[in-house]
Amino acid sequence: MENENTPEVENDEATSSSKSTDLTFETLPEPLAEGCDRAGWDKLMPVQERAMPYLLAGKDVMVQARTGSGKTGAFVLPLLEKLDPHHPQCQALVMVPTRELASQVAEEARMLAGPDGINVVAVYGGVGYQEQLDAFRKGAQLVVGTPGRILDHLMRRNLILDDLKVLIFDEADRMLSVGFYPDMVEVKRYLPRNLVGSFMFSATFPQSVLRLAEEFMTDPELLSLSSDEENITSIAHQFVEVQAMGKERKLIKFIELENPSSAIIFCNTKRNVEFTAALLSQFGFDAEGLTSDLTQNKREKLMAQIKAGKLRFLVATDVAARGIDIPELSHVFMMEPPEDPESYVHRAGRTGRAGATGTAITMVDVIQKMDLERIATRFKIKFEEIKDPTEDDVSAIIEERLTALLEKKFRKLTNIQKERVSRFLPLVKKYAEADDSMGLLAMLLDEIYQDTLHGKPVEPEAKQEKAKPSTPRQSSPGGRDRKPQGGGGRGRDRDDRGGRPEPRSQREERRPEKRDEQKSERRPERRPEKREEPKPERRPEKRDEQPRPEHRPEKRDEPRQERKEQPPRESESKQRPNDDDDAKRRPRRRRRRRKS
């Protein structure tokens, strides 16, 4: 099954050339051979034989290798030949996900370099800065550390990367799961452009890690050391033996350790689906259950969340999950082996697509382990047994995530904000000394950590395709673009030459007649409805808007036409009400004469 889902990365020529350039212990350069003698090595590991030629040649490469395969020596040994021990500046930078791995890599590098070789400094968060600053002052050709603390030193100008030659990522998939990607992007701003080479080591290569390689590396090659294949193994089939009761708690530990961007959790029964989904939600994870009993309306809403990428964990049965495709699925968890062996192929095959890798983890008890062995024999799958996670393992990874998160927030504080924070230092020290008060601090840390469980970890985003150029506008015979008909807003204030708005004074000079016509047209629309007789002092304001009565004498109409063209005067406005009163009284006088 792995061979079918695995994309070929290197062609035959590249494969043959890589095999021909493999190093052996006898053909090692002198500095590398001396380092092996200091370490007591009498032969090279497979990852060292195949990866070191790329590093020595300065060719960017992505190496798939698991922990314990000898990958540390694969990238440290070539540095002994590339770095100048007499130049005190940083020449190689190794980024790792945890402080334990930083200390381990630094210790092995010191052993291979020897007392007269390059200086190695390990930097990581959660400890003071003074010891690391003293090491920088003595000179550090090789710096190994977590991205967060490396960024701290770069921002404080304690570490300068102007002479950097080599950039190495160790366990890149775990660095993304911890949440170091934003810090890695900030570190990139300090990297020089003329790097000799960039090298990446990772146990898995999901889409997020592949995008990370595109961002930091130049035309990298892919090399797999996890199997006998010369390509990237698409799916890592793993299992862990646990007790029959309490599998849901183990699932939560695996999720916190792996921190997948998205995952499907398979159960064999509807009851287990509902219980697992409810438990994950109570722990703060973004999870939903999918069974055949779900109403059509709820199923459609759930499908919309999946297509939009807003749902992180989906708990489902085999029947309910048919036809559902979650893009860039990194993990598949199985609470137990499927009843039908064929279903395992469909379950695990949902990850490891589109040239990426994926992980399928199955939890089994003693009896279910035999079912998994039958599946392995039938489909020729090589399962890897992994360690049952403990509370200490989970606490260590949570500590790394919280440290990275808190240090990132502290870096963004202003001087005033740091001054406000300093007021609480005595209170924090007081809480830390009392066992009863330590629960208050733990409550605050849990609240911060829970916010990270609701969404996906920050990862490199897929590059969007460039938008197609829009069709050109239709031009008028004069060669200018046509203005939109009936448009409003700023579009009607733009000129015909370049699309920029004209000054208000030019617009008023160029279109005075048109504005007068618009005003004259709007006057009838503003004409108020029939009202009571206005007061004399307000009469002049409505004189031009209301038509005069037809029965008035002609000698009264002539001056009115003149007033339309001339602004009203105060003397005329005061006489106007008296003229109106005379016009209304005359018809009454005529009627009285007729009666008499």
Residue 587 lies in a domain: no
Q: What is the chain's mean pLDDT, rounded?
A: 77
For residue 124, give its domain range: 8-224
Q: Where are the beta strands (DSSP E) in 37-98?
A: 61-64, 92-95
User: Residue 157's domain is classified under what CATH number?
Assistant: 3.40.50.300
User: Closest by alpha carbon to 78, among 106, 102, 54?
Assistant: 54
Contacts of 508 (CB under 8 A, 6+ apart): 515
Whether residue 239 has pLDDT greater than 80: yes
Q: Tell me: the pLDDT tens digits for 274-310?
A: 999 999 998 888 889 988 888 888 888 888 887 777 8
Final residue of a structural domain among 445, 460, 475: 460
Ranking 160-169, 334-343, 516-525 by mean pLDDT, the lowest is: 516-525
How does residue 424 score in pLDDT terms, banded at 50, 70 and 90? Answer: very high
Say whether both 213 and 303 belong to one domain: no
Say whether both 219 and 254 belong to one domain: no
Final residue of a structural domain among 204, 224, 244: 224
- Tokens of residue 280, six digits: 């994950």
Name the burial class of residue 190, with classes exposed (0-12), middle (13-18) and buried (19+) by CB atoms within 10 angstroms of its CB.
middle
Whether residue 410 has pLDDT greater than 50: yes
Separation of alpha carbons 341 and 339, rounded Å: 6
Contacts of 22 (CB under 8 A, 6+ apart): 49, 50, 53
Which phi and psi (to 5°) does residue 334 adopt? Answer: -120, 120
Cα 335 to Cα 326, 338, 545: the distances in Å are 19, 9, 84
Q: Given this model, what pLDDT does residue 332 score?
A: 93
User: Closest by alpha carbon to 101, among 203, 25, 254, 253?
Assistant: 203
Separation of first and last alpha carbons in the chain: 122
Say whether both 183 and 46 belong to one domain: yes
- Tokens of residue 191, six digits: 């990297």
Which residue(s) pair with 221 in the sheet? 61
Q: Given this model, what pLDDT does residue 467 score?
A: 42
How does residue 594 score in pLDDT terms, banded at 50, 70 and 90? Answer: low
Query: What is the value of pTM for the model shown?
Result: 0.64
Whether residue 436 has pLDDT greater than 70: yes
Residue reference for tokens 């849990």 = 446
Residue 12 lies in a domain: yes
Final residue of a structural domain among 160, 194, 224: 224
Whether residue 462 has pLDDT greater than 70: no
Residue 588 lies in a domain: no
User: Closest by alpha carbon to 142, among 187, 95, 100, 205?
Assistant: 95
Say whether both 115 and 12 belong to one domain: yes
Q: Tell me: the pLDDT tens digits for 348-404?
A: 888 877 667 789 999 999 899 999 999 999 998 999 999 888 899 888 888 888 888
Say whether both 445 and 297 belong to one domain: yes
Share of the chain above pLDDT 90, in %: 32
Do 327 and 309 meet the contact criterion of CB atoms below 8 Å apart? yes
Which amino acid belongs to residue 512? P
SS3 content of the chain, % helix, strand, coil (to 5): 50, 10, 40
Say whether both 28 and 143 belong to one domain: yes
Residue 412 lies in a domain: yes
Residue reference for tokens 């602004």 = 567
Residue 50 lies in a domain: yes
Residue 93 lies in a domain: yes
How does residue 91 score in pLDDT terms, banded at 50, 70 and 90? Answer: very high
Whether residue 566 has pLDDT greater than 60: no
3-state SS string over 469-530? CCCCCCECCCCCECCCCCCCHHHHHECCCCCCECCHHHHHHHCHHHHHHHHHHHHHHHCCCC
Residue reference for tokens 């208050």 = 440
Cα angle at 64 between 63 and 67, to 5 degrees? 110
Residue 101 lies in a domain: yes
Whether residue 15 has pLDDT greater than 50: no
Separation of alpha carbons 334 and 34, rounded Å: 48
pLDDT, average across residues 502-527? 47
Q: Given this model, what pLDDT does residue 434 score?
A: 87
Cα angle at 109 between 107 and 114, to 5 degrees? 100
Which residue(s) pair with 464 in the sheet? none
Whether residue 542 has pLDDT greater than 50: no
Say whether both 189 and 331 belong to one domain: no
